[in-house]
């Protein structure tokens, strides 16, 4: 045990001294945070203010659009027809970002056109669409009905048809949560791959520089293998802790610096269902980019997810680690056995796809089986956890963990024998039959 | 100290070691000799519990060799290995810790060896910065740092220049004199002759020769004596009669020769001296032992 611990310490120290470890530890979370930031701001226009000319020859809109002052839009009205060619070439139109064509039949054909110079973001399109629609509603109600605008809007209120599973009426297994589980599962696979390859490389390097024979003069092969897997695994956990800490700090900064107001609105439930434009704007705003913000800050149960994430990361790493270790021991040279590495990568990819499949078809019977197969269990279980296990299904989670644990024990035993058999073989070419020979 | 009793080992269908027995005596150096592929390294690996015999037993102080005994063994494998990205100190510390040493003892012993080998300034140098010979010294220190009772050295002189071979040989002798038990596997027959008390020769997986090195060399000798004298070589040769045969000669200084004479029939060394003593001025005379090189070639070629 003492010697295993010495090997573990050496492996940790070896990883911590490499620049690639710290590169991944620091740059990984920064890259991820950048990605999250881009997701937060996905669709945000670079243009802060849109100057729009409304060509309304029939004066349908009576030279006004509901909002009088906006920090995003500035409207001018032209009560005449305007050709696109003239708009492009006309000197007086150069300061406009686009023109909105309101034809005289707009109330019946419900069609208007917006000609832009630079394509507006989805968010700007949504807002403009919303503004035009609201103004036309006013005109429509005023000219064609006897009811009040408020009454009209009550009547016109769009139906929010939410699709929900009969077994999940509270929508706990919402799609977006599944993707969260999939992301967590994918990070597990990423760590398994990165640190699994580290095990493989570390063993082949020890074989090629012959230190392994010196070590085996003092340590048993299985101790050496176990120490290596655990040591590299602990380095992975150190890196993961750095990731979690940096991402946690980053999220806190995001919340405090960028999304505080929006988030507070979402939290207060002020979702703007009344007729006030500002409130409605707030609502659209939140809907547009803060489903993701809300998901990150409100809907993910981080304590549960991080617990199972760590658990499945450790179990998944140990399970796959035995394969990498066994393969590394059997390889004759550092460049040998690439075909078997590709096989492991293919299995990891299948696990990745299994998580995707679980996210899109959570109720498929095959998902249950995938959660029991140790190769796919870490990802599939993470997706299922994020979707939420029903109380009568929780045994499935424990069964998956149990099978994974058993597989690790069997895997360690098989890899231990491969290790013992292969670690002192140098310079040969690895063949499939080598794995089965005594 | 260590006793091998009829050990055999095979890999798949190939017999690597076949019923080999020998002992390492305390305070003695045993030379394990044999051609490439004879099974020496397999035997050495079994003595270090890296491999396990299919048949037979290895005893350490009368007990079956177990993992705890490895703390008392220092092993220098033929294929040297150190962590290239780690420093000299880190490599030595790692091996010493695995051999059960405390940090204080490691520091103490490291300082002793570093001074002895003149490597005090290398402590923080990474192995990849060292030359092959320098790395070999570090490897040797890794082997002896824990002051083992038994030293198993596989080709200990490879990679060293003559000065360092001398240095290592002297250290091995010193350790033998301190009562350490040492096994050397080497193809350097000169070093074997110089260092070893006993030898075991392995050929084609089997032990073909074992015993005290001087006894073997004497026994295998062809009854040849060397006589160093001043005078005339012609007078020396003329003095020899039918009972002697001159098999070699060399002039080591003006009018000073060494003549190699083989005894014939019942002639003895005393007869030889009586025959030539009046003809030349004898400075020295000794029995010529057969070299281990010759014995090795004889044994291996015969089979």
Mean pLDDT for the stretch of residues B29-39: 89
At B228-238, the pLDDT tens digits run 999 999 999 98
CB of A212 less than 8 A from some CB of B: yes
Q: Do A215 and B98 touch (CB under 8 A)?
A: yes
Q: Do A219 and B98 touch (CB under 8 A)?
A: yes
Kindly identify which residue of chain B lies nearest to residue A217, measuring between CA atoms: B48
- Shortest alpha-carbon distance between residue B166 and chain A (Å): 24
CB contacts < 8 A (A, B)? 58
- Shortest alpha-carbon distance between residue B227 and chain A (Å): 49
- Shortest alpha-carbon distance between residue A2 and chain B (Å): 8
Q: For residue A68, is pLDDT > 60?
A: no
- Which has more pLDDT, A415 or A40? A415
Indicate the range of A243-252, A259-268, A423-432 predicted with least confidence: A259-268
Q: For residue A261, is pLDDT > 50?
A: no
Helix (H) or strand (E) holding B259: strand B256-263
Q: For residue A313, is pLDDT > 90?
A: yes
Interface of A with B in 109-168 (CB under 8 A): none
Closest listed residue to residue B130, CA positions, set B99, B194, B163, B84: B84
**pLDDT score, position A43:** 47
Burial of B63 (0-12, 13-18, 19+ CB in 10 A): exposed
Which of A4, A12, A203, A214 best probes binding to B when mutated, by most B CB atoms within 10 angstroms? A214
Interface of B with A in 52-81 (CB under 8 A): 67, 70-71, 73, 75, 77, 79-81
Indicate the range of A87-91, A175-179, B174-178 predicted with least confidence: A175-179
Indicate the range of A331-340, A367-376, B53-62 predicted with least confidence: A331-340
Contacts of B50 in chain A (CB under 8 A): 213, 216-217, 424
Strand order in the sheet with A50-55: A73-78, A50-55, A98-101, A113-116
- Which has more pLDDT, A339 or A377? A377
Q: What is the rounded CA–CA span in Å between residue A224 and residue A212? A: 9
CB of A433 less than 8 A from some CB of B: no
B248: phi then psi, degrees, rounded to nearest 5: -175, 160
CB of A209 less than 8 A from some CB of B: yes
Mean pLDDT for the stretch of residues A209-218: 82
**pLDDT score, position A404:** 93
- Shortest alpha-carbon distance between residue A324 and chain B (Å): 21
Instruction: Categorize the per-residue pLDDT at A213 as very low, low, confident or very high, splitting at 50, 70 and 90.
Output: confident
Contacts of B51 in chain A (CB under 8 A): 424
At B50-70, the pLDDT tens digits run 888 999 999 999 899 988 888
Q: For residue A262, is pLDDT > 90?
A: no
Q: Apex CA B118: angle with CA B116 and CA B119, to 5°? A: 115
Q: For residue B210, is pLDDT > 80?
A: yes
Q: Based on DSSP, count helices (H) and strands (E) in chain A, helices before strands.
A: 16, 4
Q: Do B77 and A209 touch (CB under 8 A)?
A: no
Kindly identify which residue of chain B lies nearest to residue A434, measuring between CA atoms: B12
Burial of A69 (0-12, 13-18, 19+ CB in 10 A): exposed
Q: For residue A153, is pLDDT > 50?
A: yes
Which residue from B70, B81, B97 is facing A212, i.e. has the nearest CB? Answer: B81
**pLDDT score, position B44:** 92
**pLDDT score, position B261:** 92
Indicate the range of A297-306, B131-140, B182-191, B197-206 predicted with least confidence: A297-306
**pLDDT score, position B230:** 93
**pLDDT score, position B193:** 85
Indicate the range of A10-24, B170-184, B289-303 predicted with least confidence: B289-303
Instruction: Categorize the per-residue pLDDT at B151 as very low, low, confident or very high, splitting at 50, 70 and 90.
Output: very high
Contact A383, A358 (CB under 8 A): yes
Mean pLDDT for the stretch of residues B19-39: 90
Q: Do A213 and B81 touch (CB under 8 A)?
A: yes
Helix (H) or strand (E) holding A149: helix A149-156
């Amino acid at each position: 045990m003492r010697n295993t611990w010495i090997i573990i310490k050496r492996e940790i120290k070896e990883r911590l001294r490499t620049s690639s470890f710290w590169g991944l530890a620091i740059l990984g979370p920064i890259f991820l945070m950048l990605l999250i930031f881009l997701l937060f701001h996905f669709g945000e226009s670079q243009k802060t203010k849109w100057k729009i000319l409304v060509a309304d020859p029939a004066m349908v809109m009576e030279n006004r659009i509901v909002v009088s002052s906006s920090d995003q839009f500035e409207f001018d009205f032209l009560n005449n027809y305007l050709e696109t060619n003239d708009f492009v070439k006309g000197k007086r139109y150069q300061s406009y970002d686009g023109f909105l064509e309101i034809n005289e039949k707009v109330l019946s054909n419900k069609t208007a056109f917006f000609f832009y110079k630079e394509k507006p973001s989805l968010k700007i399109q949504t807002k403009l669409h919303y503004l035009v629609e609201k103004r036309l509603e006013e005109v429509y109600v005023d000219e064609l009905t006897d009811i009040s605008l408020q009454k009209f809007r009550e009547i016109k209120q769009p139906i929010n048809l939410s699709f929900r599973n009969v077994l999940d009426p509270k929508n706990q297994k919402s799609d977006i949560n599944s993707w969260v589980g999939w992301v967590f599962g994918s990070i597990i696979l990423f760590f398994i791959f990165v640190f699994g390859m580290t095990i493989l490389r570390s063993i082949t390097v020890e074989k090629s520089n012959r230190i392994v024979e010196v070590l085996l003069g003092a340590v048993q092969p299985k101790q050496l293998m176990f120490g290596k897997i655990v040591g590299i695994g602990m380095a992975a956990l150190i890196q993961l802790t750095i990731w979690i800490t940096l991402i946690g700090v980053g999220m806190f900064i995001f919340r405090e610096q960028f999304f505080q107001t929006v988030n507070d609105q979402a939290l207060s439930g002020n979702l703007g269902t009344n007729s006030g434009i500002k409130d409605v704007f707030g609502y659209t705003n939140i809907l547009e980019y803060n489903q993701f913000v809300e998901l990150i800050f409100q809907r993910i149960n981080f304590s549960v997810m991080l617990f199972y994430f760590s658990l499945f990361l450790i179990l998944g790493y140990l399970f796959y680690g035995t394969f990498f270790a066994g393969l590394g021991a059997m390889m004759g040279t550092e460049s040998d056995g690439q075909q078997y590495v590709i096989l492991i990568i293919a299995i990891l990819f299948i696990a990745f796809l299994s998580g995707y499949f679980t996210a899109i078809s959570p109720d498929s019977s095959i998902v249950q089986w995938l959660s029991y197969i140790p190769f796919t269990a870490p990802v599939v279980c993470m997706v299922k956890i994020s979707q939420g296990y029903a109380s009568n299904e929780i045994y499935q989670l424990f069964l998956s963990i149990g099978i994974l644990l058993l597989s690790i024990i069997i895997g360690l035993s098989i890899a231990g024998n491969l290790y013992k058999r292969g670690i002192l073989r140098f310079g040969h070419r690895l063949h499939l039959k080598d794995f089965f020979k005594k | 100290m260590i006793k091998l009793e009829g050990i055999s080992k095979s890999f798949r269908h190939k017999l690597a070691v076949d019923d080999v027995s020998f002992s390492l005596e305390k305070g003695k150096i045993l030379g394990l000799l044999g051609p490439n592929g004879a099974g020496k390294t397999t035997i050495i690996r079994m003595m270090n519990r890296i491999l396990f015999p299919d048949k037979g037993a290895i005893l350490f102080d009368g007990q079956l060799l177990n993992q705890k005994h490895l703390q008392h063994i220092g092993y220098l494998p033929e294929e040297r290995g150190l962590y290239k990205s780690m420093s000299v100190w880190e490599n030595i510390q790692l091996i010493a810790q695995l051999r059960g040493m405390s940090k204080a003892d490691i520091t103490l012993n490291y300082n002793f060896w570093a001074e002895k080998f003149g490597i005090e300034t290398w402590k923080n140098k990474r192995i990849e910065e060292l030359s092959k010979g320098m790395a070999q010294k570090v490897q040797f220190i890794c082997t002896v740092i824990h002051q083992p009772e038994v030293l198993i050295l596989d080709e200990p002189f490879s990679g060293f220049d003559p000065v360092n071979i001398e240095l290592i040989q002297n250290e091995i002798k010193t350790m033998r004199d301190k009562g350490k038990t040492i096994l050397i596997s080497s193809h350097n027959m000169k070093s074997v002759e110089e260092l070893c008390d006993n030898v075991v020769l392995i050929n084609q997986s089997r032990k073909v020769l074992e015993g005290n090195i001087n006894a073997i060399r004497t026994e295998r000798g062809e009854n040849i004596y060397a006589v160093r004298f001043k005078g005339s070589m012609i007078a020396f040769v003329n003095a020899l009669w039918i009972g002697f045969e001159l098999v070699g000669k060399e002039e080591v200084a003006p009018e000073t020769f060494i003549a190699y004479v083989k005894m014939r029939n019942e002639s003895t060394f005393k007869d030889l001296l009586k025959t030539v003593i009046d003809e030349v001025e004898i400075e020295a005379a000794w029995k010529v032992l057969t070299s281990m090189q010759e014995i090795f070639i004889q044994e291996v070629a015969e089979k």
